[in-house]
């Protein structure tokens, strides 16, 4: 029996695109050191470690001591998925390809600072006086208020309480909270509430266009969101163990 296949129908097309990606900038080539730090980060934000794709930046490492295969294994053990390597000489590039990873050339501009609670892991646009970022604690010392734009590659977190962002969250940026996340502006990046598993946490935003939404580990991506709710003010919460999005207006 033969199958009739329309040879004029394309099986795929190539398209250029800009996808949000977390960069893991390595400052140690010791897999055990990396394992210890990842274990601590996993306790702070377990929802983040749910098969998140990462690019391994090796620009600050002493390459002769680099065991890329072991580092990738440590990442996968902690539910991070290395998809590419950035930087390094030709042997590093060949190792990446041998492991089935992509390779990016190193950044020629100034290197980013380490990813921490209020820091960036990508180049930042210079901030004018009108856009200056200010972080302050919520009353009672639990939670955080962040005033300013959260830029691509930047992560802002409030591990023990609510996070209030008075400004926009750009595509490629990430905001996390142990409690609820409040964004008084456009939400175009990723927002994770209840990162320690709190099912009562919620996400509130003035304008929804999020790449990823998560409450207590339950996710929705942009493609999963009802188009009628995009660019509107909404509340995201858990209802019967399902992520629901309802208008605020």
- Residue spans per domain, the chain: 22-104, 118-122+130-247
Q: Report percent pLDDT > 90 for the chain.
A: 33
- In 3-state terms the chain splits into helix, strand, coil percentages (rounded to 5) of 20, 35, 45
Q: How confident is the model at residue 131, as a pLDDT?
A: 41
Q: CA-to-CA distance for 93 and 214, rounded, in angstroms?
A: 34
CATH class of 118-122+130-247: mainly beta
151 vs 113, higher pLDDT: 151
pLDDT at 56 over 60: yes
pLDDT at 113 over 70: no
Q: How confident is the model at residue 96, as a pLDDT?
A: 87
pLDDT tens column, 125-167: 343 333 445 667 665 667 899 999 999 878 888 888 999 999 9
Q: Do residues 112 and 121 make contact, with C-beta atoms less than 8 angstroms apart?
A: yes
1-8 average pLDDT score: 56
CATH class of 22-104: alpha beta
DSSP letter assigned to residue 149: -
Q: How confident is the model at residue 140, as a pLDDT?
A: 61
181 vs 90, higher pLDDT: 181
233-242 average pLDDT score: 91
pLDDT tens column, 179-217: 999 999 999 998 989 888 889 999 999 999 998 898 987
* Paired residues of 158 in beta bridges: 177
Q: CA-to-CA distance for 197 and 126, rounded, in angstroms?
A: 36
């Amino acid at each position: 029996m033969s199958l009739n296949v329309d040879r004029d129908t394309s099986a795929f097309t190539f398209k250029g695109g800009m996808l949000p990606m977390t960069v893991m900038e390595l400052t140690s080539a010791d897999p055990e050191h990396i394992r210890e730090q990842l274990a601590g980060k996993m306790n702070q934000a377990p929802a983040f470690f749910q098969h998140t794709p990462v690019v391994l930046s090796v620009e600050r490492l002493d390459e002769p001591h680099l065991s890329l295969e072991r580092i990738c294994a440590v990442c996968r053990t902690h539910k991070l998925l290395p998809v590419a390597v950035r930087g390094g000489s030709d042997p590093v590039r060949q190792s990446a390809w041998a492991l089935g990873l992509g390779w990016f050339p190193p950044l020629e501009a100034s290197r980013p600072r380490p990813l921490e609670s209020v820091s960036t892991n990508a180049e930042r646009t210079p901030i004018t006086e009108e856009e200056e970022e200010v972080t302050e604690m919520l009353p009672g010392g639990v939670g955080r208020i962040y005033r300013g734009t959260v830029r691509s590659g930047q992560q802002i977190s409030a591990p023990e309480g609510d996070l209030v962002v008075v400004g926009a969250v750009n595509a490629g940026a990430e905001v996390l909270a142990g409690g609820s996340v409040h964004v008084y502006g456009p939400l175009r990046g990723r927002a994770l509430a209840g990162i320690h598993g709190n099912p009562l946490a919620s996400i509130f935003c003035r304008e929804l266009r999020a790449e990823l939404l998560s409450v207590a580990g339950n996710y929705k991506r942009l493609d999963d969101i009802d188009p009628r709710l995009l660019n509107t003010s909404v509340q995201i919460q858990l209802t019967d163990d399902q992520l629901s999005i309802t208008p605020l207006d």
